Amino acid sequence: MKKTVLLFLMICPFYVLFSQTIKGTVVNDIDKPIENVNIYLDGTKTGTTSAADGSFNLTSKNNNSLVFQKDNYETVIVNTSDVLNKKLKVVLIKAKEIEEVVIIPFTETAYKNYIKYFLDSFIGSDQSNVKIKNQRSLKFSYDKTNKILRVKAPQTLIIENKNLGYQIDYNLQDFVGDFENKTTRYTGTSFFKETKNTDKVKLNRMNAYDGSQVHFFRSVFANKVADEGFIVNQITKFPNSKYPTEEELQRLKDFTEMLKSKGTLNIPEDILDIGNRKRNEQPYKIGITKTQIPETDYTKKTDNKLFLDYDYMMQINFKRYFYELQKGQFVKATIPIVETSFLHPESDTFEIYTNGNTSNPGMLTNQGEFTKNKIEFLLPLDYQLGD
């Protein structure tokens, strides 16, 4: 659902003491102030709320997205670089009622078919220590024809991560599970509140950060990919001649529809063959065609901004030495584990930020270790190793 965003920059004399200050007011569509709007830098611990008169004041240190969020209103997201040192008037519009969806009951069958898939894809494997406290506010819709699962969150999700010592207020904007193509994508904004900061928690954070996608992109931005322990190889995709052609896939789809309408039919040998090849073969085969490629091969600079710009798939190897706590000191293990991830820019261009985030992160396809960077390992974008 496309959001309607109204943002006015008020042209008036405005003097500030700090170069990274954002001030303004939040109002509704009839110009009445709105209080208790959550205003935060996406993915960080930096935030505030609007006062009774709708006013707010926030200091930004990074190029994060600035989020204005309140339940029952459309969320407004702007780039901080567009609003620094300007007095803002932000208009929030009442959200339309969420479209009717089938709410899957929390039965054993529903949990197995939908809830578990969502939690595995969104939270990760450790669902005993990482929990959505208001999980039952989620709404599910499943399109049987296209095998698409959509999950909506009418309320801000309150996520407790005991391992990393954070409560995350997560504004889930969209979650789509495509069972046919075996892909999962979700987008949202997050605000972190620290709940504990013991040595064990610090250790967990260090191991969550080391080798993560955020760690990789920070290394790319700093031009220190090799120094940080990453090796990037070029992967080229080659069409797999054994995978069904588009014409064959259409024939299979047409026959499947006919099978649904007419019931039991004798399945021709050629249809069986197409179905078997679709299940057992991949559309493409891949091969490493260039090793240890430098940052200049897959990035470009434009107007002092750094972009991921690459036509090939990237294989990213990382030699990980897990951090351990020994006699009150954090030390690296002596035996490494090599971890492999893949990024698919798909010829799209993504801006890389100094904090390790990218523009349109939900559209950057990844595989391997990077796919484990779900909520259970999610750290604030302003996290620094050792915090």
Global confidence as pTM: 0.78
CB 36 within 8 A of CB 70: yes
SS3 state at 363? helix
CATH no., domain 6-91:
2.60.40.1120
SS3 state at 67? strand
Q: What is the pLDDT along the chain (387 residues), one digit of tens a residue?
A: 334 344 443 333 333 333 478 889 999 988 999 999 999 999 999 899 999 999 998 887 666 789 999 988 889 988 887 777 778 889 998 876 444 444 434 344 555 678 899 999 999 999 999 999 999 888 888 887 788 888 888 899 999 999 999 999 999 988 998 988 788 888 899 999 999 999 999 999 999 999 999 999 999 999 999 999 999 999 998 889 999 999 999 988 888 888 777 766 688 888 899 989 988 888 888 899 999 999 999 999 998 899 999 989 999 999 999 999 998 899 999 999 999 999 988 778 899 999 999 988 777 888 899 988 899 999 999 999 988
Q: For residue 167, give every residue at least 6 positions away whose Cβ sits within 8 Å of its Cβ, in sequence order, or none.
A: 158, 159, 160, 161, 192, 193, 195
**Per-domain residue ranges for the chain?**
6-91, 97-196, 197-239+284-387, 241-281
Hey, what are 39's tokens?
A: 């205003």
Would strands 21-27 and 166-178 be described as parallel, antiparallel, or unpaired? unpaired
Instruction: Indicate the residue type of 322.
Output: F
Hey, what are 141's tokens?
A: 């819709």
